[in-house]
Amino acid sequence: MLKEQQAMLELVFNLVRGNTEHISKVDFIPQKPSFYSLPESGQKLPRSAPEEQGIESDQVRRLMEELLNLSKVDIHQVMILRHGYVIGECHYAPYPENLWHITHSLCKSITGMAIGILIEEGSLRLDDKILGIFDKSVFSIRGFQQRNLTVEHLLTMTSRVAFNEKGAVACNDWVQGFLDSPVNGQAGSKFEYNSMNTYMLSAIVTEITGQSLMEYLKPRLFEPLGITRIFWESCPKGITKGGWGLFLCPEDAAKIGQLCLQKGVWNQRQLIPQRWIEEASICHVETPKQFGEYGYGYQMWMAGRPGSYAFNGMLGQNVMVYPDLDMVIVTNAGSNELFHTSLLLDTVAKYFENGFTPGENLKKNRRAYEKLLQFQNKTGLHDTRFPAVSYRGLKRILWRGSESYKRRKLILGVGGRFFKLKKQHVGLFPLIMQVFHNNYTDGISEAGFFTKNRKFYFCFREGEKPYCLEVGWKEARITEIDMHGEPYLVAVKGQAAFDEDGYTVLKLKFSFIEEASTRLLKIRFIGENIEMLWNECPGKDLLMTGLDSVMTGGTSSFLLDSLMEKDTIGLLDLLMDQTVCPKVLGEENREAGERFVGEVPISFTL
């Protein structure tokens, strides 16, 4: 336990100090493929007007509009099904239609399904002891404390094992780390949310079958549903992470929700045992208040309507299943909210829980349906959100003059200029992406701007690798970049302005459209110098909440408490000022510009 906390603290303080070289104690192996390198599925869900399925188009549209207008909910995708038909689907620019999206903990429910299949096949039981499943050579004397731990305890998050998310940054062998760890109390006595419980379920699949969780589920779940564009990260030992790391398209997530509604049957084939769906989706343990009032099943959250349940991932990744309504609702977002209880889910509940009753034999409402389609089309094409984030140290910006005038003046003034940066540990990836993907920045050392073929580019050198991202003005432009061997899609949108001293200001928003994170940048041009003010969303408040939750894990740590007491500045301020929203200064450097012009590393742009 102390070892994992120390590793997490070292990681945090190294990030704060800007020491990103060899920062991770976990081996990094590039895994993620390009979304467009995988075959597109030919198996689509049927579409229908909402009224044909007993739901009013106006209600669907109002929900989508309200989610768009909630400042705390950065909504990316919404899909609504009734009776197996898609009655509403909205992708909010710059997020493209049906692109895969990180699911975070949403995928825990899918891992639970694999356990259900394994039980049905006769290879596993709920009451099987974990110590009886794994090779005895991996146990330590301390691991004997887990002698009463069963598969069911992992499913219900009641293992009480101290090895939690900290273990993912502490070592390569997570199974060994889990089985060597002490417990915080009797197994089954208390709910403690711990992603390593789910990872161990994935490890059980591998231990029994010899296959990774992904390999095991491919012929049993993904292929029958026509899910082809899917990727699930593995740990350094090749075990599918299970509790996080899955990229899944919203329509494919909706298929899995619909499969649950159909009691595990798809095209007359029983993919998931019916009794597993029924058992997994009922409350087995009460949860603390911050996780809601309805309880937890087998890797599923209970929801507000009787019999309803949800697959939930942090920051707004959800599959909500309402059996009594025969409905499924899927969301992807980058909300500034961490736990299962959230404004996003409360908003959905306002429309489809709280006593909602669908209509029957509704008359066609062509006008309302056309308004819904117009909203969906307009929202998919035009990004109306450019967050006005507060940056300390930046003077008030004046938005005088037409947008085209400010843009022309900026392009003429900064095109072809390149700068050497003084602080070189800041990277393009948001902090949350670096940690989750174990893909840490090499630091941006140079930045600049140039125009080519009437397009404007923001360029930078991170480590030894040069990058050029096209900047969109009215709409974001999407570029695929390679970050240490892994491709990521980033949409860039810019705005131009002048501050009260007349200096040119460029505001950039980097949306990682497969992820739940965005990076924000304001650049002020002062003579031959630039001032770059970085920020990210989700922001420092949420990151610190998550860090506190993981670090404490329901236990006290002498090391952690001591460091927090001695740190008079406060870990929060350090993380905010130096890591989440750092200020970077730069001086103009013509040699940097000449190198970039010679390389012109323009990547694949959509």
Give pLDDT tens digits for 373-411.
Answer: 999 999 998 887 765 444 444 455 554 556 777 788 788
Q: Which of the residue ranges 53-67, 179-193, 245-259, 392-406 would you say has the lowest mean pLDDT?
A: 392-406
Q: Is the pTM of this model over 0.85?
A: yes
Residue 199: what pLDDT?
Answer: 98
124 CB contacts (<8 Å, ≥6 apart)? 115, 118, 151, 204, 208
Alpha-carbon distances of 202 from 133, 207, 215, 225, rounded to whole Å: 13, 9, 11, 21
What mean pLDDT is predicted for residues 423-431?
86
Residue 292: what pLDDT?
Answer: 85
Write out the E strands in 387-517: 397-398, 418-421, 444-452, 455-462, 465-470, 477-483, 486-499, 504-512
Q: Angle at the Cα of 332 (from 486 to 506), degrees rounded to 5?
A: 65
If one compares 70 and 409, the residue with the highest pLDDT of the two is: 70
pLDDT in tens, 496-523: 888 878 888 999 999 999 999 999 999 9
Q: Which of the residue ranges 323-332, 377-386, 477-486 would you say has the lowest mean pLDDT?
A: 377-386
Q: Please identify which residue in the block is written with the tokens 């909602």.
A: 356
Asked whether residue 155 carries a pLDDT value surpassing 60, the answer given is yes
The values of phi and psi at residue 59, to 5°, are -70, -40
239-271 b/e with 16+ CB inside 10 Å = b?
A: bbbbbbbbbbbbbbbbbbbbbbbbebebeeeeb
Asked whether residue 542 carries a pLDDT value surpassing 70, the answer given is no
Asked whether residue 101 carries a pLDDT value surpassing 80, the answer given is yes
Q: Please identify which residue in the block is written with the tokens 């910006």.
A: 397
Asked whether residue 364 carries a pLDDT value surpassing 60, the answer given is yes
The top-scoring range by mean pLDDT among 30-44, 498-512, 571-585 is 30-44
Which candidate, 594, 600, 583, 601, places its Cα nearest to that of 417? 594
Q: Where are the domains of the chain?
A: 31-352, 397-599
Give me the percent of the chain exceeding a pLDDT of 70.
83
The top-scoring range by mean pLDDT among 20-24, 122-126, 412-416, 576-580 is 122-126
| Number of Cα atoms under 13 Å in the Cβ half of residue 82 | 20
- pLDDT-based confidence at residue 604 (cuts at 50, 70, 90): very low
Residue 556: what pLDDT?
Answer: 39
- pLDDT-based confidence at residue 591 (cuts at 50, 70, 90): confident
- The Cα–Cα gap between 491 and 471 comes to 8
pLDDT in tens, 181-236: 989 999 999 999 999 999 999 999 999 999 999 999 999 999 999 999 999 999 99
Asked whether residue 569 carries a pLDDT value surpassing 60, the answer given is no
Instruction: Answer yes or no: are the C-beta atoms of 221 and 113 closer than 8 Å.
Output: yes
Domain 31-352 has CATH 3.40.710.10: yes
